[in-house]
Structure 1
């Protein structure tokens, strides 16, 4: 895999993203809107937690849906239908370079958003430096890989570029409502909590909050303080869920991703 070739594809992605105002709003505008909403939670507490910081760390995970998942579904669906993917694949670029360039751009956007949000949490919202930044980084990286693979698969099931903005909506709302992004799941029935724990965004939320606060956010009860090594052990189940979704993502991407239009 040649890095200059990937960067060339990445530059093409940036140019096309700038020209597509709808996609640009999804990738940039939506995270800005959600980040601005954190001001509404400043000074509020629930179950002993600062709501601005609790919700903000949830947004660190949720922005994956905008920058990586929704973005890549739109990119790959549109490029497939206008034969761009087919032309790129027929040239000197390898499959990994064609796909990797787009993932590189999506990942870069997400990284910038995460860093800006961390600065916002630590300054305007009175937060702190993460207790375990390595755990947070591992969760962010694993989540990026999972949602990129899911985007490959869903793009193959999406009939055209116009439908791409609709097919991602159920997963977006399910991720937001069921992964504990904005509120704890403790009050939900046990069966619902168990199901929510298997969603692809849930382990991202758990590892980010555990790494940021230095508390075990993988348990349903009140989070307990954990040390640097104990925080990794606490997130063992979260990484197991990551492993399952990585396997499912690879399988579904190989099965459903398409290089040519669906009518071909």
Structure 2
């Protein structure tokens, strides 16, 4: 095993132990997304999805992807990074042999690993309940979830710049928790919005994720559109990762 893999495995085990000790973490990362997803059905029932050419199952699954990434990854990972920074753990780790990326990935490993597991369980449940059937283009859904996880993890690292303490982290994530789902079709399908608004929202950070995931079940996205969504996601990942690397603080803010 390489030195990087050894460091990553050690950090991941330590973080998983700390994560499992907190009941609040378990509820926030595992139960809250599940409850919100099925609450979304009540909201979606208020819209004429069939009139917009949409089916309930794929819409719920794409909503689940956005909710899991925000509630199960963005909020808890931002708090984890801030807490480890305030506890001087990041500073001590950085003075050792582990590289910066390894330290950040090790801290994120438990919640990052939970994302695909949560999505598989919830999407399987929705598929059975809604009778959606198997995904028509599963590679699109996988692409959306994987790249979405990378994007949100980078965004969590960047958001720590706004938080002095772990308590502040709960406030620092609120703009993203509010704006990202509203502009991505997580809460309200973009197809029911005015055409001009749709075209703008298509190029915002989380929208390509929900589009790719939904198309993974419907198979309705063309190769050109899939490439555009993927490139849009990659551009946001590059921009967010660059900003996080430039501004991330390794020591407590004074």
TM-score, with length taken from structure 1: 0.85
Moved more, 89-98 or 241-250: 89-98
For 1:243, the equivalent position in structure 2 comes to 234
For 1:222, the equivalent position in structure 2 comes to none
Moved more, 231-240 or 202-211: 231-240
Where does the alignment leave 5 or more consecutive residues of structure 2 unmatched? none
For 2:92, the equivalent position in structure 1 comes to 87
Aligned match of 1:254 in 236, 245, 249?
245
For 2:28, the equivalent position in structure 1 comes to 26
Q: Tell me how far 1:110 sits from its aligned partner.
A: 0.1
Determine if contact 1:70/1:151 at 8 Å carries over to the other structure: yes
Q: Tell me how far 1:151 sits from its aligned partner.
A: 1.0
Moved more, 15-24 or 68-77: 15-24
TM-score, with length taken from structure 2: 0.88
Q: Tell me how far 1:163 sits from its aligned partner.
A: 1.0
Question: Matches of 2:139 and 2:76 in 1, distance apart?
Answer: 26
For 2:111, the equivalent position in structure 1 comes to 106
RMSD of equivalent CA atoms: 2.1
Q: Tell me how far 1:190 sits from its aligned partner.
A: 4.3
Q: Tell me how far 1:73 sits from its aligned partner.
A: 0.7
Question: Matches of 1:36 and 1:187 in 2, distance apart?
Answer: 20
Question: Matches of 2:122 and 2:116 in 1, distance apart?
Answer: 10
Question: Matches of 2:167 and 2:23 in 1, distance apart?
Answer: 13
Moved more, 185-194 or 99-108: 185-194
Aligned match of 1:203 in 192, 201, 208?
208
CA displacement, residues 93-115 of structure 1 (integer Å, 9 cap, x when unaligned): 22222112123222211011011
Q: Tell me how far 1:45 sits from its aligned partner.
A: 6.1
For 1:225, the equivalent position in structure 2 comes to none
Moved more, 135-144 or 188-197: 188-197
Q: Tell me how far 1:38 sits from its aligned partner.
A: 5.5
Matched, 1:118 2:159: no
Pick the structure with more helix per residue: 2
Moved more, 17-26 or 244-253: 17-26
For 1:228, the equivalent position in structure 2 comes to none
Say if 1:28 and 1:153 are closer, same or farther in 2 by CA, change over 3 A: same
Question: Matches of 1:38 and 1:253 in 2, distance apart?
Answer: 32
CA displacement, residues 13-36 of structure 1 (integer Å, 9 cap, x when unaligned): 122222333333221121121233
Question: Matches of 1:187 and 1:133 in 2, distance apart?
Answer: 25
Question: Matches of 2:57 and 2:216 in 1, distance apart?
Answer: 17
Q: Tell me how far 1:191 sits from its aligned partner.
A: 4.2
Secondary structure of the corresponding residue to residue 185 of structure 2: coil
For 1:179, the equivalent position in structure 2 comes to 184
For 1:150, the equivalent position in structure 2 comes to 155
CA displacement, residues 51-92 of structure 1 (integer Å, 9 cap, x when unaligned): 244123221233111222212111111110111111122233
